[in-house]
Structures are given as C-alpha cells and as structure tokens.
Amino acid sequence: MKEITLTIESLASTGLGVGRIQEGKFTRAVFVPFTCPGDSVKVKIIEQKKKYYMGELVKVITPSPSRVPIRCKHFGVCGSCDLLHIHYDKEVEMKKAFLQYMFKEFYSGDISVLSGSPDFYRQKIRVHAENGKVGWKKYRSNDLINVEECYLIHQPLLPEMRTLQKEEGEFYLVDRGDSVVIADSSDEITLEDVKKKKVPICSYVLNGQNILFAPSCFIQNNAEVNEKTVNVVARIFEAEKPTTALELFSGIGNFSSHIKNCRMTCVEGDEMSSYFATMNAPTHHHVHEEVYEFLEKNKKTYDIVLLDPPREGLREGFEEKIASITDTIVFISCNPSVLKESLKKMKEFEVKQMIFADMFPRTHHVEIVVLLRKNA
Ligand SMILES: C[S@@+](CC[C@H](N)C(=O)[O-])C[C@H]1O[C@@H](n2cnc3c(N)ncnc32)[C@H](O)[C@@H]1O
C-alpha cells in the first residue's frame, strides 16, 4: 500500500491521531496510532474503508511540540498505553476536547476535569503467563508481550509479576501497600473462604477509609482520581438531599461508602463484591441481585438513581425503565460512545453537569460523570 506524508490535526476518541488528505474533490480522514496532533509524519496506508483510511506510522518527520520522549521500551507494541508520547497536560486537554465535541448536542457547558498523577497509578493488574512470557496483549493482537517495564502500574507489582514468567494461566496481582497479593484467577475463592479469612483481603484508601475487596472484585484502579470522583458524587448527593436513593452496579461500595446523607438501596450482581459493600458502606441496604431482574420487579420510585454500568452499558430498554422511576440520575460511564447512546434514549432528561475524570492516564480511556434532571 502507498506511503504518504500527513499532518496530524486532532486526536480521536479511540486515541488515534487524525489527519486528512485531498483526493480529487474529496477529503478523506486518515487515522494513525501513536501520533500526536501537530506531528508531520510519514504514514503507510494499511486499510481503505469507505470514508477513511487506516495508516501505520513509518516515521515522524517533524514532531509536534506536544510530544515527549518515549520512556518505555514496549511503547508502540504494547496494548496497554497508547498516549505515552504526548505531554500529559496536552493529553488531558485533548481528551476533554473530544468529549466536549462528542457531547455537544447534550451539554454546552464546560466539562470539568479531575486528574492526578499520570504515572504508576494502577494498583491491581490481571496478567497472563504463557510459554515463558508474562504480561498482557500486544496492541491490536492476541499475542502476549513479555512485560519488563511499565509506567502505569504500582512499581512493587513489576518484580512480583516477573516471578510468574514460568507459570501458565491468568493471575490477579494487587498492591496492598505492605505486600503484593497474587491470586490465580482460575482458583475458586468462595465467600466462605473470605469470611474464614483463608484468603488475603486487599484494600485501597479512600479519604482515609480502607475500602476492602477480594482480588476478583472490580475496583476503580486509580486511587487518587477515584477519590476526587467519589467526592464529586458525594457533593452532588449533599446538594440534592435525597430521601430515597438507588444505586445500580454498586460494586464493593466505592461510592456508597461516602454517601452519608441518605440510606440507599445498592444493587450489585457479584456476590463477593456485594459482601464487601456491606462492610465498606454499612449504613446502606445492599442487595445482591442482577440489576435487570431487580428493575423488572421494582415498583418504587426514588429521588435519585446513581448508576455505574460496565463498559458495554445498559441492556436494551433499561434507560427508559430507569427514567420512569426517578427525576434525577447520576450516570457514571467509562465508555463515551455507549453513554451517548443512552443519553439519546433519555430524551426527557437534561444534562446539568458533566465531569471528565482522567482515571486512565496514558491511554485514550476516560471516565465520565453526568448529572441528569428530568425536564419540568
Ligand atoms: C463499572 S463497575 C462499578 C462498580 C462500582 N460502582 C465502583 O465504583 O467500584 C460495574 C459493576 O457492576 C457489576 N455488574 C455488571 N453487570 C451487572 C448486572 N447485570 N447486574 C448487577 N451487577 C452487575 C459488576 O460486578 C461491577 O461490580
């Protein structure tokens, strides 16, 4: 395929740099991984789609002023971070810009930003060990990369991870501060084991409180930005002063542990997570149930509903269901495209506040908090 020179103009929500080429009367976008707005680059076209091209970086001809030297030997091969080559302040600015553009039909206000230290922020990792390699997948490939350095993870995790090089399987590693917990993800850890303290319990600190969890539970992996996000949500609750509140996909009680001015019903499908939520947020009512089954049966209405679904978003038809039981929603999402589709279905709601929490620095991933209120 042909090689072209290109100026990168912007960053797409997928983390790819975007440039444009003129072809007769038409302008065609070219998406190129590991490039930065302001770069002049030589690119090999590797795929032609109907409206755009996919390119592969051959050479940076003139680097953008927003570029920084690449520190990691795995960058460009590793599937973990795709923005390590961009100055962190610029990364935040660019992510905010694509969110502001993406949600312009719903929110014309300024999206506020929560950020923290961009390095060494992941406290928990999941790694694969296979054929003498230990680490995670290569960029857009199923091949494993033998990870020897990483600027995203808590540094005590790295030597512990390397000890698994001769193993086969999938493992969770969690930095507890005093030690690193390693758990084979295929081991059946039961709630009984946890209650009898047969397995190590992990924790992270949230405003001075130890939030407890088992290695298999979902956690927000960036403690610093998570604390800021939880505090923002707690302030929304203080301002709203709800009498009745519902939390869906409540996990280990990350948010509910800090919501003190009402008694929420918190619904979580993972039994282990729901058990830890009863310890982390003891003043709330915790229900271990599949969210959609709970909503099908539910006959109550609530002053506020807080929800934080997994990456794939809500199941078809449930935006409408949630909209029918409340006038105020705090919607947390780690997937802007899926969030946008949900907002389209909640037509009777207006976005009052939008916050971008940079929970995943050096990657194109973002976390968004949206406050929605039903139009009068
Ligand atoms: C993105 S996490 C959010 C957890 C929590 N809000 C936090 O901040 O740690 C989504 C949670 O939803 C749970 N979950 C996923 N699908 C579910 C379902 N259909 N019903 C109930 N819980 C579900 C997962 O176990 C996970 O704890």
67-109 per-position pLDDT tens digit: 999 999 999 999 899 999 999 999 999 999 999 999 999 999 9
Q: 247 in ligand 1 pocket by Cβ < 6 Å?
A: no
Token pair recorded at residue 364: 């194109």
Our answer on whether the CB atom of 367 is closer than 6 Å to any ligand 1 atom is no
* Pairing assessment for the beta strands 52-62 and 349-357 based on DSSP bridges: unpaired
- On whether the CB atoms of residues 135 and 145 are closer than 8 A, the answer is yes
Best probe residue, ligand 1, of 123, 249, 365 (max atoms within 8 Å of C-beta): 249
Q: Residue 251 C-alpha to ligand 1 middle, in angstroms?
A: 5
Ligand 1 pocket, residue 290 CB under 6 Å: yes
Q: Is the CB of 335 under 6 A from ligand 1?
A: no
Cβ-contact 357, 228 below 8 angstroms: yes
Mind listing the domains of the chain with CATH numbers? 3-62 (2.40.50.140), 88-117+224-374 (3.40.50.150), 124-213 (no CATH)
Contact yes or no for 136/90 (Cβ under 8 A)? no
| Long-range contacts of 291-296, Cβ-Cβ distance < 8 Å, separation of 24 or more | 291/248, 291/249, 291/267, 292/318, 294/248, 294/267, 295/248, 295/321, 295/322, 295/325
User: 182-187 long-range CB contacts below 8 Å, 24 or more apart?
Assistant: 183/215, 183/216, 185/126, 185/216
pLDDT tens digit sequence for 300-343:
999 999 999 999 999 999 999 999 999 999 999 999 999 999 99
Q: What is the pLDDT of residue 286?
A: 98
pLDDT at 200: 87
Rounded to whole angstroms, how far apart are CA atoms 252 and 229? 16
List the chain residues with pLDDT less than 50: none
The CB of 64 under 6 Å from ligand 1? The reply is no
Per-residue pLDDT, 305: 98
CB 99 within 8 A of CB 356: yes
pTM for the predicted model, two decimal places: 0.95
